[in-house]
Amino acid sequence: MAHTEDFAQHAARAVSVAARALGVPTSRLDGLPELVRMGERAVFRLGSDVIARVERSADRWEEADREVRAARWLAEKSLPVTRPLPGKQPVLAEDLVVTLWEAVQGEWTVPRELGRLLRALHHLTPPPSLGLPALGPFHRVAERIDTAPGLDTAQRDLLRTHHQDLAARWPTVTPVLGTHVIHGDANIGNVLATPQGVVLFDLDGICWGPPEWDLVLTALYRDLGWHSDTEYADFCDVYGFDVTSWDGYPLYKQVRELRMTTWPAQKGGESPEIDAEIARRIADLADPRRPRSWNPY
């Protein structure tokens, strides 16, 4: 879509400007940065060892700043996380917010490793200066529903009604693991195994909240058939808790499914495969008992 292409080109220029501001060697700046992924923010690669993340709006400066500071704090605590490049970040370039990171070269790993990292993360106490917000389980959901391209009126209405229902029910469940620092989007796609060990990344959702929120994604992926029963059992064994044994799991799972539907909905029209996946997920949300045949995305 033209709007997406325009943003990608704008973001690529911003990355080049930010890289020069942070003193990234010009040898990595030949031509435009390579676009890796486009979602709520654009991700680019500079050479083999630098990743750039570009927010869609300068209004997201605070979130990008918190992500950088959180990553530096976690690195100080010896939690293996992706590291921002040295220097003052974020960088405001071309009226966009850019952060630059050391690229992580590795392979996908297993849920057990994610469970080990989450157990360590949830036991840390962040400094008050980090200013972590409270979990917003429906953060940006309404915005995504309103702006997602290609949805018809019935699909948009279904999503809005489902959102309102889940938001009304959210206060009715009580987590049992307390309130801790959580990752916010703890799935196996945000962990890589490297020769030096596993690394956790994509820290933009870090906040105060119930650990159950981090644990529910691995359980949901098992339910979707993306993880095996054995892999899930290993995850629970390492972490020390099975979130599916908690009576709030069905609601948390539904909220996660809503988020997993509205996120790709932003990419409607990019391909027939994406459009089919969006339609399938929206239809399934109407019935929590319907078997899901979702594709990883």
186/253 same-domain check: yes
Does residue 131 belong to any structural domain of this protein? yes
Domain total in the chain: 2
40/120 same-domain check: no
258/125 same-domain check: yes
Does residue 150 belong to any structural domain of this protein? yes
According to DSSP H, which parts of 109-210 are helical?
111-122, 141-147, 153-169
81/227 same-domain check: no
- Which H helix or E strand runs over 180? strand 180-182
The per-residue pLDDT for 6 is 85
Beta-carbon count within 10 A of 194 CB: 13
The per-residue pLDDT for 2 is 40
- Read off φ and ψ for residue 269, nearest 5 degrees: 90, -5
Does residue 297 belong to any structural domain of this protein? no
41/117 same-domain check: no
CA 17 to chain centroid, in Å, comes to 25
The per-residue pLDDT for 1 is 40
- Read off φ and ψ for residue 42, nearest 5 degrees: -100, 140
Q: By residue range, what is the domain housing residue 209? A: 111-285
CATH code of the domain containing 228: 3.90.1200.10
The tens digit of pLDDT for each residue in 61-119 reads 999 999 999 999 999 999 999 999 999 999 999 999 999 999 998 999 999 999 999 99
Does residue 193 belong to any structural domain of this protein? yes
Does residue 177 belong to any structural domain of this protein? yes
Does residue 188 belong to any structural domain of this protein? yes
Q: Are 63 and 55 in contact (CB under 8 A)?
A: yes
- Which H helix or E strand runs over 170? none
Does residue 293 belong to any structural domain of this protein? no
76/135 same-domain check: no
Q: Final residue of a domain: which of 56, 85, 103?
A: 103
202/163 same-domain check: yes
The per-residue pLDDT for 289 is 87
Q: Final residue of a domain: which of 62, 83, 103?
A: 103
78/122 same-domain check: no
Q: Final residue of a domain: which of 49, 78, 103?
A: 103
Ranges of the chain with pLDDT below 50: 1-2
Does residue 185 belong to any structural domain of this protein? yes
The tens digit of pLDDT for each residue in 166-193 reads 999 999 999 999 999 999 999 999 999 9
77/126 same-domain check: no
The model's pTM is: 0.93
The per-residue pLDDT for 31 is 62
152/254 same-domain check: yes
What is residue 27's DSSP assignment?
A: G
